[in-house]
Structure 1
Amino acid sequence: MNRPIIAITMGDAAGVGPEVVVKALAQPSVYERCRPFVVGDLARLARAVEITGVKLTLRAVSGPLEATFSPGEVSCVDLALIPADLPFGELSPVAGDAAFRYIERAVALAMGGEVDAICTAPLNKAALHAGGHVYPGHTEILAELTGTPEVSMMLSAPSLRVIHCTTHLGLLDAVARIEPGLVERTIVRAHATLVKSGIAEPRIAVCGINPHAGENGLFGNGEEESKVAPGVEAARAAGIDAQGPLPADTVFFRAVRGDFDAVVAMYHDQGHCPVKVLGLDAGVNITVGLPVIRTSVDHGTAFDIAGTGTAEEGSMLEALRQAAELAPTRPE
């Protein structure tokens, strides 16, 4: 059996990342699909094992070549950046900087061909900024570290996939950013990702910007006609089954019903809200367009419950499953 090697970044050490990581890796079924190891802090993982009560042995390694990938034993590239007395549930620049360093090391391993995918536990944007790394989030960090000029965020839940033209921008800035080329490129990235996941002829719906997709010019200032429709038409001309611009207030229902394989959202909340209504423990964040597969949990650091052992690992398990499905395999 050829299983992909997946680097799991531990996320913000003051949040629930260490707990969801050890809970997920305590399940033997994970190892049937992939060969996972953690890039993080061994002592913090050990604390998470104590808090959650899972049965795991932890082992420090310098990289995946030393990892054992055995159920019940977790290999960790230990950057040793977290002090033993770092409290859970409190914003920390030390934890913010460490979260960035975990991603940096995982990307280096991926770009060096040592891992096939990266799966990320959550970071805290305020802590990241306090630690000296001013990025809107994971997506932008990964794009810069891999030298990728443009990527897309795709959220995937069991009955719905949503890819975004824009993400971490104010609404007015997002509308200004949207243009036909961006819409077309986002559709193309969605199509390529779905084909890679086994859907031979994906059906893609594209949202409008305004209520009712502008309703033939009754709402807005012609954004659908000038910004969205030409991008859809260009994708269709390239042979992609794309429909739109469609009203966002009904298109997600239609996608969940099975009419479409993915929806292209114009801005962050237009796409995030429908997925999160389906359940935070079911969603996975996939960065589309990178030279390496990257998936992530679709929840935050949850400082309010960090350190209690109650965080659910469902989203991490789903993120690992989808990373394993999308990543190339290699001989064992």
Structure 2
Amino acid sequence: MSDSPPRRLPRIAISVGDVAGIGPELSIACAADQAVKGVCFPVLYGPAEVLRRISVQLGYATAEMPQIVDVPIEQPESVIAGQFSAATGQASFDAVSRAIDSTMAGESSAIVTGPIQKEAWHEAGITFPGHTELLASRTAVDQFSMMLTSETISCVLATIHVPLADVPSLLSVDLILRAIRNGADALARRLRRPARVAVCGLNPHAGENGLFSHGEEANLIEPAIAQARSEGIDIIGPLPPDTAFTPRMREQTDVYICMYHDQGLIPLKALSFDDAVNVTLGLPIVRTSVDHGTALDLAWQGVASRRSMMAAIRMVIDLTEKP
């Protein structure tokens, strides 16, 4: 018999997202899963009264309920499935803020976030466009990137939640190089070998040597690629976006660097809608998230797929355990 002490499971803070959506039921179900409890100690952050009401509606026994850090919401009895409000937005913001505090203080090992309703944040007067920007602000980081990843495909975004018309003016050599470095580092740690990086062009046909561009490929993307290559990164591009994601190209690529949100999200969700994970790169803490929305039409019915939430928990454990 071994005399070694039992392994201490990492405490994972799970912010449940907007309580009017599917985040709470996914958080409850996954945190109660024996496979999850075997690798971590999950703690839910959200309005306890609403979470208990949802768990009863879905038939969970009291003994199955995970630990909850109560983040109060105004008039919890008035919260209705599928109907977000300023109150649900404020509650989801407060929940993830508490989870960040816990992780920054070392009480939790990492954060998993459920889906928020961005309109609800706006109604509550919250100016952050999403989790990623909030996390960067709260951790005082400016060299961050958003990566969406699955077993099939990984995409890092140079720009994130901005109007498409603003993308060209926001791109810079430094911004693109940051996405390249963060993506190459993340996949190298995950795969334990140098990552193969492919960079998408911004314009049709990657600009067609300037015919279909305003010089973004030549003046911004190509210099960033050249600098990354000089640093030893295995990298190609800029690739025409319409052929970058073919099966043959995916076989040769570990991570794509995409210039704007939908350039990466469209192929990722087409290939891995149910099991993709959102990872914020460049933070001093580990954070993963589901890669889907609040699905208000499915809320509190117990029918929403758990695959992305389970993948986010598995990913956060993987990233937390690796050196």
TM-score in terms of structure 2 length = 0.93
Contact 1:153 1:285 in 2 (8 A): yes
User: Is 1:219 aligned to residue 225 of structure 2?
Assistant: no
Q: Residue 33 of structure 1: CA displacement?
A: 2.5
- Match status 1:288 vs 2:259: no
Q: CA deviation at 1:32?
A: 2.5
Please say if 1:74 is aligned against 2:66: yes
1:29 aligns with 2:29: no
Unaligned runs of 5+ in 2: 1-6
**Most deviating of 132-141 and 195-204:** 195-204
Match of 2:114 in 1: 121
Deviates more, 1:76-85 or 1:4-13: 76-85
Equivalent residue number for residue 262 of structure 1: 255
More displaced stretch, 203-212 vs 127-136: 127-136
Q: 2:45 corresponds to which letter in structure 1?
A: V
CA distance in 1, matches of 2:137, 2:257: 23
- Partner Cα distance (2:114, 2:58) in 1: 16
| Mapping 1:1-332, distance limit 5 Å | 1-55=7-61, 57=63, 72-81=64-73, 83-254=76-247, 257-328=250-321
Q: 1:306 to 1:207 in 2, by over 3 A?
A: same
Q: CA deviation at 1:73?
A: 4.5
Tell me the alpha carbon deviations over residues 149-192 of structure 1, each in whole angstroms, 9 at most, x when there is no partner.
Answer: 23111001220000000011111211111111111111111112
* Residues 98-145 of structure 1: CA deviation (Å, up to 9, x unaligned): 101011111111111111210000110110111121211111111111
Checking the alignment, whether the CA contact within 8 Å between 1:128 and 1:134 is kept in structure 2 is: yes
Q: Secondary structure at the match of 1:244?
A: strand
| Residue identity opposite 2:179 in structure 1 | T
Percent identity, aligned pairs only, is 40
Cα offset, 1:243, TM superposition: 1.0
Query: Which secondary structure does the structure 2 equivalent of 1:114 belong to?
Result: coil
- SS of structure 2 residue aligned to 1:8: strand
Aligned to 1:68: none
Q: Distance in 2 between matches of 1:317 and 1:256?
A: 28
- One-letter amino acid of the counterpart of residue 42, structure 1: A
Q: Distance in 2 between matches of 1:329 and 1:53?
A: 36
TM-score w.r.t. length of structure 1: 0.91
Computed over aligned residues only, the root mean square deviation of the Cα atoms, in angstroms, reads 1.7
- d(CA) in 2 for partners of 1:286, 1:54: 30
Structure 1 stretches of 4+ with a deviation exceeding 3 A read 254-257
Quote the Cα distance in structure 2 between the aligned partners of 1:283 and 1:329. Answer: 20
Query: Matched residues in 1 for 2:178 and 2:120: separation?
Result: 32
SS in 1 for 2:50: helix
Q: How many residues align?
A: 316
Tell me, yes or no, if the aligned pair for 1:189 and 1:288 is still in contact at 8 Å.
yes
> Deviation of residue 254 (structure 1)?
4.4
